[in-house]
């Protein structure tokens, strides 16, 4: 029987209390599944800023004054106060000359024939586009397929695309240079490998039952050598059915692991199995669509805000709640809790169960006697979040607070940093810190004080810069958060 390997350990683990095998996690940051660079670039894109009209609208050319007034009223209803009426090219550029990037307004060009003009500023330069609107369809630019409910949404999406074209070309070039060989190392396979094997086995059994050979043939086949072990024993081809999709919330490509940027038609999604990808990446995905995977796509690797929106009655994702409850019920006195790893295959089995069965998953001591498996699954869930609990935007504020020497000022700055977090991240971080504070209160037995817990969780909870290995400041900051969590969150 092959020896069971352990998560986060390259050799056999030492015996922890209760006789459970385990090993300390490595001190270096854990490997992330998702790539944050494009997401961080989107955050840096200029925001839309409508320029409100401060003048009486000039009347456009019309057969009568009444028709001209009605034309202005119609445009006002469509575009609001950012409609500036009849305006030429040079006047539009003068209006944008002193505005900040992201500024925009709508005008009617003297030469227009059934369209309006969207004028905006990006990278200190003006841009002009023919703007159209169709009832029931929305706003769109001439010659483009994307449709928007508001001009504000259109400008926001456009500014992000301009920003990506300007700053993300090396990453986009890497995406375009990928090959089909990248599939085996993709997030899709990383997150769903065990599920795919399980579904493949189920399909294999069903196929074998349908095509069971006669007894004589079975006996003859027993003399033949068995085939080599294959993690995906059932080999079949079924093309994916990719369609352009507008994703709600934050989503990442399951082929290249990069962010799907923009606000509409960001990528494609397989209607059969749910595979999400950039349009270019979808061309490299092999024809191995497994429709049954759609019903057990699960929650690991899903954006936290999106996850909480699916559970409107709970502010904390069920995976976090269930794991914390189980650790507090039977792991508070476990020596090295969260530092000692559970067995990798048991953590994967629990992950699959949580994806399949959701909140009803049996996580009792009977099902998972090693509480380190529960703790390891919680860390895995938090590690796979595309945006960490302490987000990329809030990270600098937390670090600045941690560098402050005066404790009173430090707590005040940390309270301000906490308020910068999105609601889902704020609630979940508070829940986790209060839990870790309770774990640390049993330090005399479990040997895990605030600093030890911060050492384990810093690479998981914090949006650390890529390739950073020295987390001394992050650990100190997180240790302070755990120690003073009640005070820090009291006013937030």
> Do 236 and 312 belong to one domain?
no
Q: Residue 24 pLDDT more than 70?
A: no
> Do 125 and 189 belong to one domain?
no
> Do 366 and 453 belong to one domain?
yes
**pTM of the full structure:** 0.78
> Do 242 and 268 belong to one domain?
yes
> Do 293 and 345 belong to one domain?
no
Which CATH number is 460's domain given?
A: 1.10.555.10
| Any domain includes 62 | yes
| Any domain includes 42 | no
CA distances 291 to 184, 204, 270, Å, are 19, 15, 9
Which CATH number is 163's domain given?
A: 3.30.505.10
Q: What is the pLDDT of residue 387?
A: 95
Rounded CA-CA distance 239/270 in Å is 10
How many CA atoms does the CB half-sphere of 8 hold within 13 Å? 26
| Any domain includes 361 | yes
Task: Convert the pLDDT of each residue in 35-89 to its tens digit.
Answer: 999 999 999 999 999 999 988 787 666 656 677 777 778 888 889 999 999 999 9
| Any domain includes 221 | no
> Do 326 and 365 belong to one domain?
yes
The total number of structural domains that make up the chain: 3
Q: Residue 104 pLDDT more than 90?
A: yes
> Do 334 and 474 belong to one domain?
yes
| Any domain includes 37 | no
> Do 355 and 462 belong to one domain?
yes
Q: Residue 3 pLDDT more than 70?
A: no
Which CATH number is 205's domain given?
A: 3.30.60.20
Task: Convert the pLDDT of each residue in 390-427 to its tens digit.
Answer: 999 999 999 999 999 999 999 999 999 999 999 999 99
The range of the structural domain enclosing residue 280 comes to: 179-210+231-298
Rounded CA-CA distance 251/39 in Å is 10
> Do 120 and 188 belong to one domain?
no
> Average pLDDT of 286-308?
85
Beta bridge partners of 462: 390
Among 298, 317, 334, where does a domain finish?
298
Cα 283 to chain center, whole Å?
22
How many CA atoms does the CB half-sphere of 317 hold within 13 Å? 28
| Any domain includes 69 | yes
Among 247, 271, 298, where does a domain finish?
298
> Do 255 and 162 belong to one domain?
no
> Do 346 and 479 belong to one domain?
yes
- Other beta carbons within 10 angstroms of residue 417's beta carbon come to 23
Task: Convert the pLDDT of each residue in 354-399 to its tens digit.
Answer: 988 989 999 999 999 999 999 999 999 999 999 999 999 999 999 9
Among 278, 298, 318, where does a domain finish?
298
| Any domain includes 455 | yes
> Do 22 and 61 belong to one domain?
no
| Any domain includes 463 | yes
């Amino acid at each position: 029987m092959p020896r069971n390997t352990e998560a986060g350990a390259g050799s056999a683990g030492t015996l922890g209390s209760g006789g459970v095998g385990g090993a300390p996690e490595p001190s270096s940051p854990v490997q992330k599944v998702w790539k944050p660079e494009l997401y961080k670039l989107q955050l840096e894109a200029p925001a839309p800023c409508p320029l409100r009209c401060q003048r009486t609208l000039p009347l456009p050319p019309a057969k009568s004054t009444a028709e001209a007034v009605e034309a202005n009223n119609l445009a006002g209803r469509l575009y609001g106060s950012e409609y500036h009426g009849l305006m030429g090219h040079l006047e539009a550029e003068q209006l944008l000359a002193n505005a900040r990037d992201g500024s925009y307004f709508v005008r009617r060009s003297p030469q227009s024939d059934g369209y309006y003009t969207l004028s905006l500023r990006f990278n200190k330069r003006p841009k002009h586009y023919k703007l159209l609107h169709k009832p029931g369809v929305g706003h769109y630019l001439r010659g483009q397929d994307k449709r928007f409910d508001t001009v504000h949404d259109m400008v926001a999406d456009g500014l992000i695309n301009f920003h990506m074209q300007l700053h993300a070309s090396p990453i986009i070039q890497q995406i375009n240079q990928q090959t089909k060989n990248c599939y085996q190392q993709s997030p899709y396979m990383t997150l769903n490998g065990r599920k795919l094997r399980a579904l493949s086995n189920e399909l294999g059994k069903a196929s074998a039952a349908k095509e069971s050979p006669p007894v004589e043939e079975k006996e003859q086949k027993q003399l033949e050598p068995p085939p080599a072990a294959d993690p995906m024993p059932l080999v079949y081809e079924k093309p994916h059915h990719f369609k352009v999709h507008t994703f709600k919330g934050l989503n990442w490509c399951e082929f290249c692991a990069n962010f799907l940027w923009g606000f509409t038609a960001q990528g494609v999604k397989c209607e059969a199995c749910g595979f999400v990808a950039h349009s270019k990446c979808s061309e490299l995905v092999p024809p191995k669509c497994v429709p049954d995977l759609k019903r057990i796509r699960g929650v690991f690797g899903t954006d936290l805000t999106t996850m909480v929106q699916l559970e409107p009655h709970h502010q904390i994702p069920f995976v976090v709640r269930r794991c914390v409850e189980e650790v507090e019920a039977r792991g508070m006195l476990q020596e090295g809790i969260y530092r000692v790893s559970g067995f990798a295959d048991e953590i994967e089995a629990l992950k699959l169960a949580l994806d399949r069965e959701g909140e009803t998953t049996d996580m009792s001591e009977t099902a998972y006697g090693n509480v380190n498996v529960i703790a390891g699954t919680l860390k895995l869930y938090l590690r796979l979040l595309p945006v960490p609990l302490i987000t990329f935007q809030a990270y600098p504020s937390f670090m600045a607070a941690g560098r402050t020497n005066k404790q009173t000022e430090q707590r005040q700055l940390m309270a301000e940093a906490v308020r910068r977090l999105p609601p889902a991240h704020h609630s979940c971080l508070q829940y986790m810190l209060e839990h870790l504070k309770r774990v640390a209160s049993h330090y005399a037995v479990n040997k895990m004080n605030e600093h030890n817990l911060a050492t384990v969780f810093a690479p998981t909870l914090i949006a650390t810069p890529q390739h950073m290995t020295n987390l001394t400041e992050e650990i100190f900051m997180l240790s302070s958060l755990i120690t003073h969590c009640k005070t820090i969150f009291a006013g937030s």
